[in-house]
Amino acid sequence: MFDIRELNNFNTMPEAFLAISHKYPTLKLYSQAQISEDGSRKWISRSYSEVEKRVLSIANFLRSLGVKKGTKVAIISSSRPEWIEADMAILLLGGISVSVYQSLLAEDIGYILYDSGAEIAFAENQEQVDKLYELSESEITIPATEERAETKANVKLNSIITFEEVNSKLESQYFEEVIRDTDALEVNDYKDCTRGDFASFVYTSGTTGPPKGVMQSHGNHLSNARQAGVSGLLDFSREIEVMLFLPLAHSFAKLIGVLGLLTPLSINFPGIADKKSSKADPVSITRDIRESNSTLIPIVPRLLEKMQSGIIAKSKNTGVLGKLLKIAISSANAKYIGQGHGLISEIQFRLTSFLRKKIKKQLFGANFNFCISGGAKLNPDVAKFFDSLEIGILEGYGLTETCVVTNVNVPNRKKIGTVGTVVDSDLEIKLAEDKEIMFKGPNIAHGYYNRKKATEASWDSDGWFHTGDLGEIDKDGFLSIVGRKKEIIVTSYGKNIVPIYVEGFIQSTELVSQAMLVGDGRAFCSVLVTLDIQAVKAWAKRTGISLEKEYDKDKKVITKVTEDIKKVSEESLSNYEQPKKVLICPEDFTIENGMMTPTFKVKRKSILQKYSDLINNLY
C-alpha cells in the first residue's frame, strides 16, 4: 500500500511525481468528461505514464522558450487536466507557476501578471486570449502597494500557449499541437532545486486591497500533501476518486491537484461545455459530478447552501413527491436531534430511506463518501441538514498562506460547527490574547512576493503566521472560527459583533440568498440581503400570491423577508446583534459585478461603497 509519508523523502515536487509515475505507470491519474455535440458524455482517462510523457513534452517546449529556474509562468484557466500538466511542466524546469483565476477581469489579470513578473502564460481559450490582447493594447492602472506607488503599464507576454484552439492577433501555440510536435525528452533541471525553492505564487483574493502573491515552496506543497494524507482524511488502502470542479487557481483545489500528481489519488474533471469561454455551466457540472461517481468531492459552503435551498424548495411542492420529501426531511431531522423515538417517526424515517439515498445519488453520484467543505465558514445549520440526511460533509480550514489545509474534520471524528483538529503533529497552532489564530510548521508559506511590509505584518519574528481569523479551541483540540479581526463591527455603544455569526442565521431564512451585516460606528446594526429568486417564486406559487417582476421592490416580499429575519434574530441573537433594518439589494453579490471574490468571499468594502447612499438612508 502507498505510504504518503514517503513524500518526506523528496526534495521537489517533480522528483515525487516521477517516482510515483514509475511506481504506478498504468494507474489512472485523471479522467475527464468529453461532451459531444448532441450533449452525450464519454469519460476519457490517462495513466501516470501517459501524463508523464505529455508533461515532459510541454517542459521541453517551455525550455525552448527560455524557461529556467525562477522563471514565472502564469496559468489562466478553469480546472481541467491541462492545468495540472502545465503546472508540473513548469516545475520540471525549476520555474514558478503563477495561478490566475479565469473569472477575473482583464485589468485584474494584468495586475497579477505585472506584479509577479510572469513572462509566459497558459491561457485556456478565446475568452482569456482576448483579455491578454486587451492588456497588450492599452494601459491599465497598477494599484499602489506598501512598497510601490500607483503606476500605469502595458502588460505584454513573451509567449502564450492555449488549451483550446483560438483566433487572435497575438501569436500563440496550441497545447495539443505542442505535445504532438515536441519529443518527450528527459528533463533534469528540477534537480538544481531544493525544498526551500519556490514552486508557485498564488494570489490572495483581494478582499481588502490589491491581491498579494503568496510564495509557496516545494517543501510547503510536499509537507501539506503529506499532512492531508496522515490526517485520517485519505485512506489509500481503498480507491480514492476526487471530483475537481473548484478553480485550481485557489490553494484548496490546487492541493487536490498536487495529491493527484504525487499520490495514487485519481482526479475527475468536468467536461468543457463551451470551448471558447471559461464561464461555468452549473447544469453540465452537476451532471458530471453525478456521473463521475467520485468518492470525495471538495466543495464550498455557497454551493451547499444552494443545494439545501433546492431540496427544501422541492419539499414544499404540493404533489406527492413534495409531501414525501417533506416527511423525509422532517423525520430525518427529528431522529438527528433525538426527537424521533416515537413509532410514527421511526416508521416515517425507515419508509423514506429510499428518498435520502436518492437525494445523495442525485447530488453526488453512486460511489460518494463525503464532501470536504472549505474556502469559507460553513453554517452549522447547513452541515446539520446534510448530516441528518446521511450525506457526509467534513469541514476544514486553511489559507493560501498555510499552503493550504491546517485543520479538518475526518470520518468518525468530527464536530459540526468546528473545522476539526490540526492535520499533523508537526503543525503548531496557538491563539493570541485576542483569540487570533496562529500557525507554525513546514507547510507555512514564505511571505508575500515584493511585499516586505505586508509579510512582516503577518509573519512575526518567531516564525508564527498570524491568520487574521479569530478562533476558539476546545478541550479535544477542535478549532472553531468565530470571525475576522478586521471585520468585527463595533457599534457606537461599544458592542463588538461578529458579522459571519449573525449572517449565518439570516441566510437560513427562506427567501434570503446572501447577507452582509453593517453598523460599524452606528447606533445599531442593519443587514443587506439578496434574494433567492427561485425560492421567492416557489413561495409565491405555494401561497397563491401575485408578485411584481422587481422582487426587491415587491411589498409582499419585503414584508416576508423582514418578518423572517426578525423572527430568527429574536430567537437566536442578542438584542445588540439583531439587525434593526433590512435593505434588499437588487442583485446577487457575484464575481462579475465585483462584489465577490473568485473564492466566493463577499467584498465588504466594495458593497459598502456601492450601496453607501442606501445604507446611510437606513440611519
Which helix or strand (DSSP H or E) is residue 535 part of? helix 533-543
**What SS3 state is found at 171?**
coil
Q: Measured between alpha carbons, how far is 505 from 482 in angstroms, rounded to an integer?
A: 14
Sign of CA pseudo-dihedral 452, 456, 461, 465: negative
What percentage of residues in the chain have a pLDDT greater than 90? 74
- For residue 50 the three cell numbers come to 501517459
Segment 397-401 shows an average pLDDT of 96
Judge contact between 385 and 307, C-beta under 8 A. Answer: no
Question: By mean pLDDT, which of 209-213, 261-265, 491-495, 522-526 is the weakest?
Answer: 491-495
Strand order through the sheet with 173-174: 173-174, 159-162, 120-123, 72-76, 96-100, 198-203, 213-217
Residues in the chain: 619
pLDDT at 484: 86
Q: Is CATH 3.30.360.10 the right assignment for the domain spanning 488-618?
A: no
Residue 341's pLDDT is: 57
What pLDDT shows up at residue 340? 54
Task: Extract the C-alpha cell encoding 198.
Answer: 519556490
Provide the 8-state DSSP code for 43. E
Residue 26 corresponds to which cell in the numbers above? 498504468
Provide mean pLDDT across the span 237-256: 95
Give the distance between the most distant pair of CA atoms in the chain: 74
Instruction: Please check the confidence at residue 343 and state whether its pLDDT lies above 80.
Output: no
Question: What local confidence, expressed as pLDDT, does residue 98 receive?
Answer: 98
What's the rounded mean pLDDT across residues 566-589? Answer: 93
Q: How far is it, in rounded angstroms, from Cα 303 to Cα 175? A: 32
Confidence band (pLDDT; 50, 70, 90) for 207?
Answer: low
Question: Among residues 512, 537, 521, 536, which one has the least CA distance to residue 589?
Answer: 512
Using DSSP, state whether 334 is helix, strand or coil. helix
Strands (E), 245-403: 266-269, 296-299, 370-373, 392-399
Residues 95 and 73 sit within 8 Å (Cβ to Cβ): yes
The residues spanned by each domain of the chain are 4-264, 299-366+369-485, 488-618
The pLDDT of residue 258 is 98
Specify the DSSP class assigned to residue 189: G
Nearest partner of 98 among 200, 221, 247, 251, judged by Cα: 200
Helix H segments across 126-234?
126-137, 175-181, 218-230
Q: CA nearest 577: which of 450, 513, 488, 459?
A: 488
pLDDT bracket for residue 379 (50, 70, 90): confident
Residue whose C-alpha is closest to residue 415's, from 341, 479, 342: 479
* DSSP state letter for 532: -
**Could you read off the pLDDT of 14-55 as tens digits, one per residue?**
999 999 999 999 999 999 999 988 888 899 999 999 999 999
Question: How far is residue 72's CA from residue 254's CA, in Å, rounded to a whole number?
Answer: 17
Q: Are 364 and 391 in contact (CB under 8 A)?
A: yes
Could you tell me the pLDDT band of residue 585, with boundaries at 50, 70 and 90?
Answer: very high
Mean pLDDT computed over 247-251: 93
Can you give the C-alpha Rg of the chain in angstroms? 25
User: So what's the pLDDT on residue 316?
Assistant: 83
In CATH terms, 4-264 corresponds, of 3.40.50.980, 3.40.50.300, 3.40.50.2000, 3.40.50.2300, to 3.40.50.980
Contacts of 292 (CB under 8 A, 6+ apart): 31, 33, 43, 241, 243, 268, 365
Domains 299-366+369-485 and 488-618 share a fold: no
Query: What type of residue is 367?
Result: N
Q: Is 299-366+369-485 CATH 1.10.10.60?
A: no
Of the candidates 469, 519, 459, 464, the one whose C-alpha atom is nearest the C-alpha of residue 494 is 519
Distance CA 572, CA 526 (A): 16
Q: Are 553 and 539 a contacting pair, CB within 8 Å?
A: no
pLDDT above 80 (res 110): yes
CB-based contacts of 235-239 (< 8 A; 24+ apart in sequence): 236/1, 236/2, 236/3, 236/4, 236/263, 236/264, 236/265, 237/1, 238/295, 239/266, 239/295
- Is the pLDDT at 432 greater than 70, yes or no? yes
> Which uninterrupted H or E stretch holds 355?
helix 353-364
Q: What is the DSSP string of 365-380?
A: -TT--EEEE-SSPPPH
Give, to the nearest 10 degrees, the angle between helix 106-116 and helix 126-137. 70
DSSP per residue over 570-615, as a string?
Answer: HHHS-GGGS-SEEEE-SS---TTTTSB-TTS-B-HHHHHHHTHHHH
- The pLDDT score that the predictor gives to residue 548 is 84
Query: Cβ neighbours of residue 330 under 8 Å, at least 6 residues apart?
Result: 348
Q: 10 Å Cβ neighbour count for 316?
A: 17
DSSP assignment of 606-618 equals HHHHHTHHHHHHH
Find, among 122, 151, 154, 123, the residue nearest to 137 by Cα. 154
Measured CA to CA, the distance from residue 258 to residue 87 in angstroms comes to 10
Query: pLDDT tens across 152-172, in order?
Result: 999 999 999 999 999 988 999
Residue 55 per-residue DSSP state: H
Q: Which among 84, 28, 21 is positioned nearest to 58, based on CA atoms?
A: 84
Contact 230, 423 (CB under 8 A): yes
Which cell numbers in the block locate residue 263?
A: 499520490
| Residue whose C-alpha is closest to residue 301's, from 599, 82, 533, 552 | 599
Judged by phi (left if over 0) then psi (alpha if -120 to 50, else beta), residue 110 lies in: alpha
pLDDT of residue 206: 61
Tell me the pLDDT tens digit for each residue of 471-506: 999 999 999 998 888 888 988 888 889 898 899 899
Tell me the residue type at 344.
Answer: I
Alpha-helix runs per DSSP H in 5-145: 13-23, 48-64, 81-92, 106-116, 126-137
Q: Is 502 helix (H, G, I), strand (E, B) or coil?
A: helix
Q: What pairs with residue 596 in β-bridges?
A: 602
pLDDT tens digits, residue range 255-288?
Answer: 999 999 999 999 999 999 999 999 989 899 999 9
Q: Is the dihedral of CA 424, 430, 436, 441 positive or negative?
A: negative
Angle between the 380-388 and 301-315 helix axes, to the nearest 10 degrees?
A: 60
